[in-house]
Amino acid sequence: MFIISWIYKKIVTIIHTIILYSLRFGPIPQHIAIIMDGNRRWAEKHHLDKKDGHASGYIKIEETLDWCEKLGVKAITVFAFSIDNFKRTESEVDALMKLAEDKFVNMLVKNSSLLDKHNCAVKVLGKWELLPDFVRNAATKVIEYSGKYNNMYMNFCFPYTATEEITQSIQKVVLHRINTNHDSETHEKTSILKDLEDNMYTKHCPPLDLVIRTSGERRLSDFLTWQSTSSAVFSFEQVLWPDFSLWNLFSDVLNYQRSYPEIKKYREQMKKLTERTERIEMSESTH
């Protein structure tokens, strides 16, 4: 039985390697965002507790990170917890906070952790003040530990909404411009759009290329709405998140590769438009 299991795992590994290698002949999305929908439904389907569904969802994050690193993806951003999720039952929220703490701690103590294995830096994006102290402390340790790595970024949006992200970016830009109102040269050299971009949570990442949502839902649910306007490709999978497979990722990346010529053309046009807008803004600021 052991031999059969060993042979099966070897065959699966070989197949996965072939799949990932074949994708590298085309353009690879440098930044993939995932709305990990379906953990609770998966648990219900398998007659398990909700917390077991969320735990299985985290295991899938580790698998997906491994696939993406082998593909050459530089940033993965997952919607781990919406600010709106605090409206769920107290018991479920508490379970999710405890799970988050456990996983952050495990990233540091597990032998050959995914951070060390993939030379991966972790970022936790969102409204930190809403998190319990024990989660903030665990997240801070992971961020500090992984700060030495630069091969790829693993971003956990937790707790997060795009509305909150855009709001805080606007507030920072407005306050900065008020505080530097006397310095006209500063305003001449920067555009409002660039200032907003520089204050987004994902400013350390490449532009968003691919957004994947599982469970069959076809909406963004207040996730990376600013970043997704830059011609990101959307893939809506019917599968529940814990059942997401390499075949699903293969299909999603192929979808991106088919759309790449249009994406490249659109971004070149937007770059020219942005440069023109910046020139106009700087010209107006000098008069």
Tell me what the mean pLDDT of segment 222-235 comes to. Answer: 92
111 falls in which pLDDT band (50, 70, 90)?
Answer: very low
pTM for the model stands at: 0.89
Query: pLDDT tens, 37-61?
Result: 999 999 999 999 999 999 999 999 9
Query: How far is the C-alpha of 158 from the C-alpha of 267, rounded, in Å?
Result: 29
* Token pair belonging to 270: 């937007």
The residue with tokens 């059969």 is 4
pLDDT of residue 148: 93
Domains of the chain plus CATH, in order, are 29-161+207-247+255-260 (3.40.1180.10)
Q: Average per-residue pLDDT in the chain? A: 89
* Alpha carbons 273 and 59: distance in angstroms, whole number: 42
Tens of pLDDT, residue by residue over 123-145, are 999 999 999 999 999 999 999 99
